[in-house]
Each structure stands twice: as structure tokens, then as C-alpha cells.
Amino acid sequence: MKTINKVLLGLAVVGSLTVAAADGASLYNKCAACHGTTGEKKALGKSAVIKGWEATKTVEALNGYKAGTYGGAMKGLMKGQVNSLNDSQIEALAKYIEAQK
């Protein structure tokens, strides 16, 4: 029974890693309506194009939006979009955006 539990635990960990790896892409779906499918658009004609931003830049921006310390015209809208994201989700999203070259 212990062996079966260990195998199931191992499968659960592998499954979670797969979900975490795909997380950035699925999280970005929420962003695509304004930023474009790869981040190629200025959101609502007002923001910077985020396609290919370095992950650290995106993490700083998203955390700044959450804290209310970053952003101009889009500050209020973005704060609402990122408030529910935790640190690992922000990191996954940032890595996904960075990969959009």
C-alpha cells in the first residue's frame, strides 16, 4: 500500500508540474483580449506592447499594478486584472510573455 501511495504521490507531483508549466499560457488567455495573442498590441491603444518583455520587467509591472504603484492610464483596470494572481502565477505569466518573441 505504501508503494502505491508513493507512486500516486509521484504522479500527482508530475501532473502539477505539467499544469504549472502550462499555467503561463492559460493565464495569458485573460490578457489576450487587450494585449493581442502574443502581446503585440497596445492594450486599448494606451499601453506599451508587452511582447517579449523580460520576465523581471513583467513581474515588476504586475506587482506594481497589484500594489497600485505602477501604471498610468491603465492602472485601475490592470489592478483589477492582477489582484487575484499569486507570485507563482505572476512568474509563470511573465515567463510566457518573455517567450513571445
pLDDT of residue 99: 97
* DSSP-derived 3-state class of residue 68: coil
The answer to whether 59 touches 91, Cβ cutoff 8 Å, is: yes
Q: Which residue segments constitute the domains of the chain, with CATH numbers given? A: 2-99 (1.10.760.10)
* 36-94 pLDDT, tens digit each: 999 999 999 999 999 999 999 999 999 999 999 999 888 999 999 999 999 999 999 99
Q: What is the pLDDT of residue 74?
A: 84
Kindly report the pTM of this predicted structure.
0.76
Residue type, 70: Y
Upper half-sphere CA count for residue 40 (Cβ side, 13 Å): 5
As a whole number of angstroms, the distance between CA 98 and CA 51 comes to 7
- For residue 33, the surrounding DSSP H or E stretch is helix 2-35
